[in-house]
Structure 1
Amino acid sequence: MPDTVKLTQDKPADANDGVYAVHNQIPSDIACVDDYQIYAKQALSHSSWEYIDGGSADELTLSRNRSELNKIGLMTKVLSVNAQPNTHTTVMGQALYHPMLLGPVAYQQLAHPLGEVASLKAASAQDVGYVLSTLSSISIEQVADNSDGSPLWFQLYIQPNFNHTLDLIRRAEKAGFSALVITVDAPINGLRNREQRASFRLPEGIFAVNLSEYVSASSSVHGLAGGSLADLLNSAPTWDTIAKIQQHTYLPVIIKGILSVDDALIAKSLAVDGIVVSNHGGRVLDGVPATIEVLGDIRQAVGPEMSILFDSGIRRGSDIFKAIALGADAVLIGRPIMYALATAGPLGVAHMLRLLKDEFEITMALCGCKSISDITSDKLYL
């Protein structure tokens, strides 16, 4: 590792001790988002790395998210843009300087002691929106206290006890969150074989603080009540649960985890405010399509009015361009948050976002796009 990064330990942490190297300098040789992944693996304990970086089962979907994005080409257009492209956009009536938000990633203190507060401050510094996970390692209220007014959304895991779900929503409303992102594609845990092999468990002091009043310490790392598969499925949410939540909140409701046209149309029939086309970063059911493969069909099915966000696999500014060209209004950034946090703390996350923003604007300019509305499917080489 370059001398700019000072580790606080001489050897890798034991598999389960949760120790990471704390540093706040950006390595001089980082030129793209993927470069952070290399440093993060060295900074994190083995078990934490396997939990963060791993996917479900054989990780076919995890790999497919990248390979399918890479298959999509770009069509350059010359002599058409002579000024910096305008990246401003609006999603569900909320202004975004750039069509991206930091997505909901659990237990960010695994990567840095400041956890979610560090990544929120980085997002704010880069004028990027932020989505806080139900499974954050820092509380809803404390994170909100560090917000500067940039878009701040709350991701909700529906709890087995509906009153607990309502309490989470009320807390988010009171704290000033401006949208509710309900994750629906993980009613049970995926087959996380890599973290099983590494015997991953949350280190002492890191836990789902937002759920501490509702669940016992023996619950799973996903913050859902423990029990048999039958018990978990019996308490799993349904579309009726979504409709019920809509009756109990004034916040815009976004459904995260849509992969099929049928599900997208059901969401539209419920008049939800938006959907996230997502396969949970390949962490739940292995073998499902890459999100970029289904995005275009979903956009065509729901029409131009519905807000669509996209996640799973974004690593380049050109990936953001491709997603927008195929129908997304904005994208969510996932694992790179943890890679950058583990490598260089909040400065790393801010730098990671700056890399994506610069790459996105360069792609827009070289493809002849002066604004977000110019990014259309004819700018791709399929």
Structure 2
Amino acid sequence: MYRAGVSGITPKVPTSAEKLEAAARRALMRRPGGRRAWAYVYGGAGSGVTMSGNRDALDRRQLVPRVLRSTDRRDLSTEVLGQRLPAPVLVAPIGAAGLVRRDADVHIGRAAAERGLPYILSSQGSSPMESTADAMKDGPRWFQLYWSRDEQLVDSFISRAEDIGAGALVVTLDTTTLGWRPWDLDLGSLPFTRGVGIAQYTSDPRFSEMVAERVAQDAGAASGTQSDSVKVTPKAVQTLFEMARNHPGGLRRNLSAPETRAAVQTFLDTFSNPALNWDHIATLRDRTRLPVVLKGVLHPEDAQRAFDMGVDAVMVSNHGGRQVDGSIGTLDALVRIRAAVGPEPTLLFDSGIRNGTDVVKAMACGADAVTIGRPHIYGLAIAGQQGVGEVLDNLLAEIDLTMSLCGASSWDEVDASLLA
């Protein structure tokens, strides 16, 4: 970067977390629907205490660099679930990323693949998983599952994830219902009601059957009225237009086709499963050959129970502070869980990572790898695939630099002894 600066070339994507966030906000606010997009991407649960707690837990930890350690040769690579990664970084699943840029998942997937980093495809993706996987070519990918009320749909998603070569199945546990999110609530905005973030569903054969059943049911309803009435307003008409634009097929047909609205209604009725419990998790060994990761675990007893059941990894996460306001910061939770389960089980860290120093701190606290969420979406907002790539490059460069300056040449040398 410094050499390029001699010629007056500066980064397109800011290198500091604060400037990155501000630049992404400006970029989104210039676009139609930008306020809704920013609210969904940036906003957290309640008053934002958990979001702040995630940062506080990271900022409270201080690194104690060692010197004269000969770190001229460094190796950032590591192994997670039998997969060799160039660095302990995975690109987190972000639902409804299509709010930020069309074909968002393809942009993100390509950027991750170019760097050999796994992209965790979201159930709430804005492109079918098959399209994203094709765009990633041989790039590593995992799949994140929201457990639907319809068990056949769960099986269909799992089967499709296996078919696209997913390296693991990440089951999200903390979103059996959406959290209290004032940023979205105050705008009356949920992207899925506009058909954004439901591409995995509208491309699924089982979901198509469910939509057809609903259309038939509505067609047979008494008096010829639709089963779910919506007050006709200019905003409602705009929402219908957005549904039609986001639904597979042509815009003109979608505007009049009953499947367009039925797909959104079916999704809203089946998206999350408040009845999800340990019995559901116990069925996974008979349903998939993929390694299973449970995402959203914060309590040590839950982590231990998961490993006792044979789960392959636990992702310590509070959903980026978007679900429970006042929840424990994830790094504090990681420390407690690592102490409870011991050194061997695989623990992934999610929620709060903003820079390379954060990654080193998380690894020193017992993580085997981390995921990066909002920052890569900010890069997407600023410059699409290039923006995502620059965010990832900056993160990897800062990890490498921080390791070197702390006297570590590999992750074997990063542990609690580097923390104050």
> What TM-score bracket applies, with the shorter chain setting the length?
0.7 to 0.9
How far apart are residue 33 of structure 1 and its match? 3.5
Counterpart mapping for 1:221-370 below 5 A: 223=267, 225=269, 233=274, 236-370=275-409
How far apart are residue 366 of structure 1 and its match? 1.1
Counterpart mapping for 1:68-147 below 5 A: 68-147=57-136
* Counterpart position of 2:27: 43
Distance of aligned partners of 1:157 and 1:26 in 2 relative to their CA distance in 1, 3 Å threshold? farther
Residue 167 in 1 paired to residue 156 in 2? yes
When normalised by structure 1's length, the TM-score is: 0.87
Deviations 1:258-302 (A, max 9, x none): 000010011011110001000000011111100001111211211
Aligned to 2:351, the other structure's residue is in SS state: coil
Indicate conservation of the 8 Å contact 1:259/1:279, yes or no.
Answer: yes
Q: Distance in 2 between matches of 1:219 and 1:159?
A: 14
Indicate conservation of the 8 Å contact 1:277/1:295, yes or no.
Answer: yes
Aligned to 1:69, the other structure's residue is in SS state: helix
Q: Distance in 2 between matches of 1:221 and 1:369?
A: 53
Q: Distance in 1 between matches of 2:50 and 2:117?
A: 27
Q: Distance in 2 between matches of 1:347 and 1:26?
A: 14
How far apart are residue 359 of structure 1 and its match? 0.8
Letter in 2 for 1:366: L
How far apart are residue 127 of structure 1 and its match? 2.3
* Counterpart position of 1:208: 198
When normalised by structure 2's length, the TM-score is: 0.80
Structure with greater helix share of residues: 2
Aligned to 2:14, the other structure's residue is in SS state: coil
How far apart are residue 135 of structure 1 and its match? 0.4
* Counterpart position of 1:375: 414
Residue 150 in 1 paired to residue 194 in 2? no
- Structure 2 gap ranges (5+): 1-8, 29-33, 212-260
Q: Distance in 1 between matches of 2:262 and 2:70?
A: 57
* Counterpart position of 1:67: 56
How far apart are residue 150 of structure 1 and its match? 2.9
Q: Distance in 2 between matches of 1:223 and 1:273?
A: 29
Aligned to 2:144, the other structure's residue is in SS state: strand
Letter in 1 for 2:346: S
Distance of aligned partners of 1:337 and 1:50 in 2 relative to their CA distance in 1, 3 Å threshold? same
Indicate conservation of the 8 Å contact 2:77/2:84, yes or no.
Answer: yes
Q: Distance in 1 between matches of 2:413 and 2:199?
A: 43
Distance of aligned partners of 1:145 and 1:308 in 2 relative to their CA distance in 1, 3 Å threshold? same
Deviates more, 1:201-210 or 1:371-380: 201-210
How far apart are residue 125 of structure 1 and its match? 1.8
How far apart are residue 222 of structure 1 and its match? 12
* Counterpart position of 1:32: 16
Q: Distance in 2 between matches of 1:95 and 1:232?
A: 34
Q: Distance in 2 between matches of 1:95 and 1:222?
A: 39
How far apart are residue 114 of structure 1 and its match? 2.6
Letter in 2 for 1:181: V
Letter in 2 for 1:40: A
Deviations 1:322-368 (A, max 9, x none): 11111100001111121110011111111001111111111111111
Q: Distance in 2 between matches of 1:351 and 1:118?
A: 12
Q: Distance in 2 between matches of 1:264 and 1:75?
A: 29
Indicate conservation of the 8 Å contact 2:13/2:391, yes or no.
Answer: no
Q: Distance in 2 between matches of 1:65 and 1:29?
A: 24
Q: Distance in 2 between matches of 1:29 and 1:278?
A: 27
- Structure 1 gap ranges (5+): 1-24
Distance of aligned partners of 1:369 and 1:269 in 2 relative to their CA distance in 1, 3 Å threshold? same
Q: Distance in 2 between matches of 1:339 and 1:81?
A: 36
Distance of aligned partners of 1:259 and 1:35 in 2 relative to their CA distance in 1, 3 Å threshold? same
Letter in 2 for 1:277: V
Q: Distance in 1 between matches of 2:42 and 2:116?
A: 26
Q: Distance in 2 between matches of 1:120 and 1:210?
A: 15
Aligned to 2:269, the other structure's residue is in SS state: coil
Q: Distance in 1 between matches of 2:119 and 2:372?
A: 10
How far apart are residue 198 of structure 1 and its match? 2.0
Indicate conservation of the 8 Å contact 2:98/2:197, yes or no.
Answer: no
Indicate conservation of the 8 Å contact 1:84/1:361, yes or no.
Answer: no
Indicate conservation of the 8 Å contact 2:50/2:329, yes or no.
Answer: yes
How far apart are residue 32 of structure 1 and its match? 2.3
Letter in 2 for 1:302: V
Q: Distance in 2 between matches of 1:268 and 1:198?
A: 41
Q: Distance in 2 between matches of 1:218 and 1:245?
A: 30
CA RMSD of aligned residues (A): 2.2
Aligned to 1:287, the other structure's residue is in SS state: coil
* Counterpart position of 1:9: none
Letter in 1 for 2:358: D
Indicate conservation of the 8 Å contact 1:26/1:343, yes or no.
Answer: no
Indicate conservation of the 8 Å contact 2:114/2:139, yes or no.
Answer: no
* Counterpart position of 2:238: none
